[in-house]
């Protein structure tokens, strides 16, 4: 049965997206791997490798057209493309934050608008949005990224309400820290701001850098295996926490006042 399942994944050049291609291909799925730079997919196990920039509708439409031409359907869409920037809300570059939202939030909307019509026509499909445990509670100097992942939670919940009559399922995966290029990209995007010794938020920045250096990060391969098991389930839950440290799971369920107290102490 799995060889009939067509899965399209965004953001496959590195990290979880790349590992998901391998894991789902190993499970017998027909995997379409996509990235802004197709060259990064050269040695990846996938049935088809396509250019998609989730912020550009033209590239999305061209890719969907090619998939439908070759495979006639998309059973599962995994919205994985995304990245992070750090910085206090007072200091962060708003244009940088907008660019992040274009990928993390509006990129998902672009993809679902392109894929849903054919899912609705065949009255089945799954939309898997890769969120973050940061979409469950806010952290200082991480507000913009948290806001984008809070939005992913809302999009996923809304999709379920709107698509229930068409047998299209939606869920959000909430990973914890994973050992991928995610944190390198974060540093590349944020270090110039966070290295400012004169910043009013310098102590937050120094604390964050120290925390990230010592932070335990889960294996992307093992994380992808867990996610692949989830997406192939017949019935999806509303959301899944994957590779989330026990303390983070607790914090996500604490009352607001206790969660904020712990975040301030951190």
Catalytic residue annotation = 145
In angstroms, the CA 178 to CA 196 distance is: 27
Q: Which two tokens stand for residue 26?
A: 């190993």
In angstroms, the CA 122 to CA 4 distance is: 14
Alpha helices by DSSP H, listed for the chain, are: 15-26, 57-71, 94-101, 107-122, 143-163, 182-194, 202-214, 220-231, 246-253, 256-265
Of 123, 131, 106, 120, nearest in space to 55 by CA:
106
In angstroms, the CA 124 to CA 129 distance is: 17
């Amino acid at each position: 049965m799995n060889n009939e399942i067509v899965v399209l994944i965004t953001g496959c050049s590195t990290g979880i997206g790349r590992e998901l291609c391998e894991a789902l291909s190993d499970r017998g799925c027909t995997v379409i791997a996509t990235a802004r730079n197709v060259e990064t997919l050269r040695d990846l196990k996938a049935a088809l490798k396509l250019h998609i920039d989730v912020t550009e509708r033209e590239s999305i439409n061209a890719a969907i057209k090619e998939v439908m031409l070759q495979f006639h359907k998309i059973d599962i869409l995994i919205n994985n493309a995304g990245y992070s920037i750090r910085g206090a809300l007072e200091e962060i570059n708003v244009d940088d934050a907008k660019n992040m939202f274009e990928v993390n939030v509006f990129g998902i909307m672009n993809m679902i608008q392109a894929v849903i019509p054919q899912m609705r026509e065949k009255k089945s499909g799954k939309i898997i949005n890769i969120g973050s445990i940061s979409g469950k509670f806010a952290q200082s100097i991480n507000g913009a990224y948290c806001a984008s992942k809070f939005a992913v939670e809302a999009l996923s919940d809304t999709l379920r309400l709107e698509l229930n009559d068409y047998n299209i399922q939606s869920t959000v995966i909430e990973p914890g820290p994973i050992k991928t290029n995610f944190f390198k990209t974060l540093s590349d995007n944020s270090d110039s701001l966070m290295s400012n010794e004169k910043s009013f938020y310098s102590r937050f920045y120094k604390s964050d850098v120290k925390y990230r250096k010592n932070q335990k990060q889960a294996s992307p391969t093992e994380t992808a295996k867990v996610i692949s098991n989830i997406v192939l389930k017949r019935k999806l839950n509303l959301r899944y926490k994957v590779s989330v440290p026990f303390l983070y799971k607790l914090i996500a369920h604490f009352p607001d006042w206790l969660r904020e107290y712990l975040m301030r102490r951190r």
